[in-house]
Every structure is written in structure tokens, then in C-alpha cells.
Amino acid sequence: MAKQVTTVSEEGYSATNETREFETTIDATGEEAPDTLEALLAAYGSCYVPALRVGGQQRDADDLGRIEIDITGELNDDDKLESVQFDIRVEGDVDEDTGEEIIERAFELCKVHDALKDSLHAETSFEGNAA
């Protein structure tokens, strides 16, 4: 099995990505659409949400409720991604120890996490019962 995306840029630094019947735009300058690093961080967070839910189910925290992740990507002097921080808040009543177990399992499940070099694996904070 393979995944297929077609990326087209007619001019400039913006590109349209066609994935099945979906279309997204990414602009390297960040002027017309999210830039490439913002798109990467969004993909990382979007992949991590279902991994958290499955990790929660596997750690007897079946209902995490609303999940919110504030994702910060720190840049180095060359404007390249140097580090990633996830500040995770879930609505469900989850204690700190269970939260840590869920976080560890979610990293094992997240496919975007696997695709990043080790230095970009997200540092995390976790808050349960965060309505």
C-alpha cells in the first residue's frame, strides 16, 4: 500500500496539494496559507489526537472527551525546526500517572512521530479534567 499526493506550484512559493478528493494549500512564505512548518506541526497534532484516544482506551481511560493540543515549534537560527512542545489538555478525568502512560503509548502509535528525526519528537505536558 502507498499514499499518493500531487503537489503543484504554478509560480511563486505556494503549492496546492491534491490528496484523493481533498485539496490543501501550503505557502512557504506563510502569506497566503500556512507555511511548511506550520503544516508539519498541524499534521503532527492531527496524528497525535487519535493516538491519544487509542492510548487512552488501552490504558483504561476510555473517555478523554475534548482534546486540545497547543503545539509550539521552536526554530533555530536557520529558521529550521529545532524542537516541538505539546501542551495537551483533555476534558476527561485522567490522573497524572495515567496521562503519562497515555502519552507514551500515543507516541508509539503516531505515524508522524515515527517519521520525524529524534530531536523533533515532541516534549509534552498533560492536563486532565481540563474542561
Question: What pLDDT, on the 0 to 100 scale, is given for residue 130?
Answer: 84
pLDDT in tens, 100-131: 999 999 999 999 999 998 888 888 989 888 86
Q: Is 62 exposed, middle or buried (0-12, 13-18, 19+ CB in 10 A)?
A: exposed
For the segment 93-100, the average pLDDT, to the nearest whole number, is: 94
pLDDT-derived band at 69, boundaries 50, 70, 90: very high
The CATH superfamily assigned to 36-127 is K homology (KH) domain (3.30.300.20)
pTM recorded for the entire structure = 0.90
Instruction: Tell me the domain boundaries of the chain.
Output: 1-34, 36-127
